[in-house]
Structure 1
Amino acid sequence: MLLTNLELAFRAASVALLLVLAASLVSDFRNVLAGRLGAAFALGSAAHAASYSVGVTSLVAAWHAPLIALSTGNIVVFWLFTRALFDDEFRLRGWHGLVWALVTAFSFVGCLWFAPGGNARFSIIAVDLIVLGFIALAVAQMIKSWPADLVERRRNVRVFIVCAAALYGGVNAVLQILVAGSAGDVANTINSGVLACIVAGIAYAMMHVDGADLFPAAVEAAPAVVFSPQATDDAADQKLIEALMRLMADERIYRQENITIGALAGRLKIPEYRLRRLINQRLGYRNFNVFLNNHRIEEAKAALADPAQAEVPVITIAMDAGFQSLGPFNRAFKAVTGVTPTEYRRLKVNAA
């Protein structure tokens, strides 16, 4: 009886915290994709907290099945949330919703038809392999995008949110695959307690970072790259920034394929953390890719406005400036100038 009451208390605490978190995100960041997906992830996690049990059973109540299905589909929302959290250019597509619907429907069908038909283990293993797959995709996105973030506190909170959720989800998926039958009250109480602690930890971490940093309202506008020596008091920092700007202007290092902040720090012979801090605090950038793209776009703007290059294809100009494909170039260019590269070229020709 004590374990049952304790488990219910943990579940109730998790659900309450997640509902408050979802309401807060909707209230403050409903116009931001990452904020909306974060609210959806919190609601799906609340369904998980209310419905999840360690172990496999073939009997699922009809009212319980929708909660389990929403809890399963929430792994797709988690992946999308991670994409939006680490990639400011990410946009939802129709097929994202289709993937969520398919995963949710498969879980629902498994609860009401597969499990009662004697195929509970197959259904559970299939669902948990799907969960592990989306967790791997989310972690891969975090690893790929995290180095470009220049705001230290935001970087740490984002990684904590993704790692905590991924670790919890991954461990539970593995347990469901390995554990046959009911795992008992002790296991479910421990699981509920761990979930409550993780939810509380995520809520606490989010309270200690500026929400506008964690959920930026738009693709970061690139600040001017003109360096003002008067704005930098420290002589050593001033020399480093001047050296950095020489690499950008003279060597056009931003053209190099897959240039990283670590490689750039190596060229300047300084630790990566110091270069990250310089670009963020001295030059005003929050993302390393935006810093690089600003220089690339300035070069592209000059080429597009040059009458001698009027016949050069836009994709050639984009790739010469360091972009790897036309899509990211078009999005970054429009974010900075407000028009597409083609429109920019036409405006410059008409103004000449």
Structure 2
Amino acid sequence: MGLTAIDLGLRGATSGVFLLIIFVALLRRAGSQQALLGMAMSAGGVFYAIATAPFFPKSSWWWVLPILSAQPVVFWLWARAAFDDDFVLRRWHGSLWLGIVASGFALTLGWAYSPALAGAGGRGLALVNLALALAAAVQTVKTWRADLVARRRRLRLAMLAINVGLIAVVAGAGFAAIPVVVPGAPGSLPTALVLFVVAMIAGLGTFAAQPVVPVNDATAAIASGGGRGADRASTARVAVDPRVAVDPILLRCLDHLMTVERSYRQEGLAIGALAARLGVPEHRLRQAINEGLGYRNFNAFLNRYRIEDARLALSDAAQREVPVLTIAMDAGFQSIGPFNRAFKAETGVTPTEFRREALSRPDRADIREPRREIG
């Protein structure tokens, strides 16, 4: 009875933390897709903690298991939204969730009539869950290097490792026919402990406060100010946090590298190589770009310069006959596909449409390259 009490206590604490996360998100009126998916994942965590607890009525397994089996979809979508700044929810994502829930109901209701077929279907569902867990892990690794948000970099691996591990255990149990998620199953204390740790990490990620320190005038001027920096701020819509202190000399040197030396044109430029050229640790450069200039992703930071470079070239009547691919490669893109997507996301039109509109304007002769260096 002592272990059961601990199990129930951990599940109660887990549910409380997840509910608090949902309550805070509602108070903040968070409407982003990451926040909505986070609330859905927290609600799923509460449901999972309750439904797999000791003494939960076993008669409810026919509707509980299908909903639990679809939770990896929510986690995968949350990982995409949390770690990919360009991710957009699509209707087929919801269809995937509904499809897994429907398949779960079909399997549970059909178990009494064809256990062998239902067992094969359960293994297939477990395979889908494993694939989603793997996709979430790949998303973490794929965007790790380009991530500029320090707190997100620290929390993502721990959060994903625990969640992916939990999903893998559940899916693996599906292959081995081990009832680890059967309502009221005994020996569920390890599951309760993992859920509690996940809830604590999620709570830290939600409630940890950002440092608030003053910024001096020089940093603010470079981050949002004159010359080319002003042009970039207006086109990139970068939100500069006035509370963060970043070395103004570092920002000025960075601006020189990007606007005068055009380092963004270097193929495969990584933040480590840029930090080496500036002679600063990589973490300091990440902080400067994120907290001083407002970028969350290094590729987005580079693409702002590259897109502006391409816009100038596409607006130049002297380069009318230069292929779009050549302009993209000269700006630093390695292929036409990413260039087209980034350009349309920034301008709302394709490069070809932008060129046609720009060259048809009577004031195109006034288009000239802005000043190359600040101050």
Q: Do they fold alike, i.e. is TM over 0.5?
A: yes
Give 1:4 shift: 4.4
Distance 1:321 1:127, change over 3 A: same
The reply to whether residue 144 of structure 1 matches residue 142 of structure 2 is: yes
Per mean C-alpha deviation after superposition, the further-off stretch among 15-24 and 290-299 is 15-24
Partner of 2:159: 161
Partner of 2:70: 73
Give the one of 102, 105, 109 matched to 1:108. 105
Q: Which runs of 5+ in 2 are unaligned?
A: 211-222, 231-241, 365-375
The reply to whether residue 279 of structure 1 matches residue 313 of structure 2 is: no
What is the distance in 1 between the residues matched to 2:123 and 2:61? 19
Give 1:36 shift: 1.4
Partner of 2:312: 302
Letter in 2 for 1:248: M
Distance 1:209 1:332, change over 3 A: farther
What is the distance in 1 between the residues matched to 2:106 and 2:224? 52
Give the one of 271, 277, 292 matched to 1:261. 271
What is the distance in 1 between the residues matched to 2:246 and 2:43? 48
Give 1:145 shift: 0.9
Give the one of 145, 170, 176 matched to 2:168. 170
User: What is the SS of the residue equivalent to 1:187?
Assistant: coil
The reply to whether residue 206 of structure 1 matches residue 216 of structure 2 is: no
Whether the 8 Å contact between 2:3 and 2:189 is mirrored in structure 1 is yes
Letter in 2 for 1:323: F
User: What is the SS of the residue equivalent to 1:148?
Assistant: coil
User: What pairs with 1:57-96 in structure 2 (closer than 5 Å)?
Assistant: 61=59, 63-96=60-93
The reply to whether residue 320 of structure 1 matches residue 330 of structure 2 is: yes
User: What is the SS of the residue equivalent to 2:143?
Assistant: helix
Per mean C-alpha deviation after superposition, the further-off stretch among 23-32 and 290-299 is 23-32
Per mean C-alpha deviation after superposition, the further-off stretch among 100-109 and 82-91 is 100-109
Distance 1:14 1:181, change over 3 A: closer
Give 1:188 shift: 0.9
Cα deviation digits, residues 301-338 of structure 1 (max 9, x gap): 21122112334454553343233455654554455556
What is the distance in 2 between the residues matched to 1:160 and 1:192? 17
Whether the 8 Å contact between 1:254 and 1:295 is mirrored in structure 2 is yes
What is the distance in 2 between the residues matched to 1:191 and 1:282? 42
Per mean C-alpha deviation after superposition, the further-off stretch among 255-264 and 138-147 is 255-264
Distance 1:41 1:258, change over 3 A: farther
What is the distance in 2 between the residues matched to 1:307 and 1:113? 68
CA RMSD across the alignment = 3.7
Distance 1:112 1:325, change over 3 A: farther
Give the one of 345, 349, 352 matched to 2:360. 349
Whether the 8 Å contact between 2:11 and 2:53 is mirrored in structure 1 is no
Whether the 8 Å contact between 1:29 and 1:35 is mirrored in structure 2 is no
Letter in 2 for 1:197: V
Whether the 8 Å contact between 2:85 and 2:297 is mirrored in structure 1 is no
What is the distance in 1 between the residues matched to 2:45 and 2:9? 16
Letter in 2 for 1:78: F
Letter in 1 for 2:360: V
Give the one of 252, 259, 264 matched to 2:262. 252
Letter in 1 for 2:318: A
Distance 1:121 1:296, change over 3 A: same
Partner of 1:217: none
The structure richer in helix per residue is 1
Give 1:72 shift: 1.4
Whether the 8 Å contact between 2:53 and 2:185 is mirrored in structure 1 is no
User: What is the SS of the residue equivalent to 2:152?
Assistant: helix
Partner of 1:44: 44
Give the one of 108, 121, 126 matched to 1:128. 126
User: What is the SS of the residue equivalent to 2:268?
Assistant: coil
Letter in 1 for 2:283: Y
Per the normalisation by structure 1, the TM-score is 0.77
What is the distance in 1 between the residues matched to 2:359 and 2:309? 15
Partner of 1:196: 196
Letter in 2 for 1:295: Y
What is the distance in 1 between the residues matched to 2:104 and 2:58? 12
Q: Percent identity?
A: 39
Distance 1:113 1:265, change over 3 A: same
What is the distance in 2 between the residues matched to 1:340 and 1:28? 36
